Amino acid sequence: MAKSVLTITLNPTVDKSCEADGIKPEKKIRCSQPKYEPGGGGINVSRGLQRLGVRSVALFTSGGRTGEMLEKLLQKENIDCKAVPVTAETRENFIVVDTASNDQFRFGMPGEDITKEEAEAIHSEILGISPLPEIAVISGSLPPGIAPSFLKRLVKELKAKSIKVVADTSGEALAAILEEGVYLLKPNLGELSKLTGREELDNESADEAAKQLIDEGKAEIVVVSMGPQGAYLVTKDETLHVPAPSVKKLSTVGAGDSMVAGMVSVLANGGTHSEMARMGVACGSAATMSKGTGLFTKENAEKLYKWLSK
């Protein structure tokens, strides 16, 4: 039986995407009918897990008209939701693809302030989940009003309950989380460089930088996302490189979240590190084969996983 998974999204979004033929300044742009999809790191991980046959609970903040839309969109996908009400309107992001050039323009909004009282309510909801999850995924950005120290405290309390924490965020939020240390960390090369103080990382030095984080107690497993070069999975005792398969790239939106979903699906089912790395790369690569804000399809992910397993 798969381990139970909780995903935590403190700054969720509804992703609104469309297409336009030729984007030029000061010109009225004729767009296609917009498509609305649930968004935010942890929410996308839950959506990816659903496609891989692993159930999870998606906990997220929800406010206003956009929050109601977000909840309805997730219900349509049969995602188990735990929406924590807040007064701030849930944000929207906007993505438009220029069909003349296939260039993608991504506009990310910051979200509105969360009050101190609401932050405490969110904290209580997370720790009050019953039964307790065996894996907790913290993914995405922090909304205004929630300090990075919130995550440090949260990770400490989750670990005290023997919950394996998976982290995929950035900046001050990531630095705060790593003060407590996590089970699995997924940085890209830029984030790994900042965390370790090493400039201009490449394939060889990424391995050393990842082991530095492990030696410092900041993570047990570090999976370095290398984009088109695949990923490195590093533990105290091993280093695995999984090359990215060559695919027709239509969009990079959701590729990182898809990679996390692939890895967590293997972790939940008790798979090996090698299987975890291959499924992560397969799902991340499969996501780039989908248009707009679409995540990977199960068919594409499984096909790429089989190719990587040869």
The catalytic residue positions are 257
Q: Quote the CA–CA distance of 71 and 50 in Å, as a whole number.
A: 16
Helix ranges (H only) for 35-89 are 41-51, 64-76
Query: Taking a C-beta distance cutoff of 8 angstroms, is the pair 13, 39 a contact?
Result: yes
Six-digit token pair at 155?
């990770």
Six-digit token pair at 239?
């280093």
Helix (H) or strand (E) holding 185: strand 182-185
Classify residue 254 by burial, with Cβ atoms within 10 Å: 0-12, 13-18, 19+.
buried
Q: Quote the CA–CA distance of 265 and 279 in Å, as a whole number.
A: 8
Classify residue 64 by burial, with Cβ atoms within 10 Å: 0-12, 13-18, 19+.
middle
Write phi, then psi, for 243 (nearest 5 degrees).
Answer: -75, 150
120-147 per-residue burial string, b: 16 or more CB within 10 A, e: under 16:
ebbbebbeebeeebbbbbbbbbbbebbe
Sign of CA dihedral 180, 160, 9, 112: negative
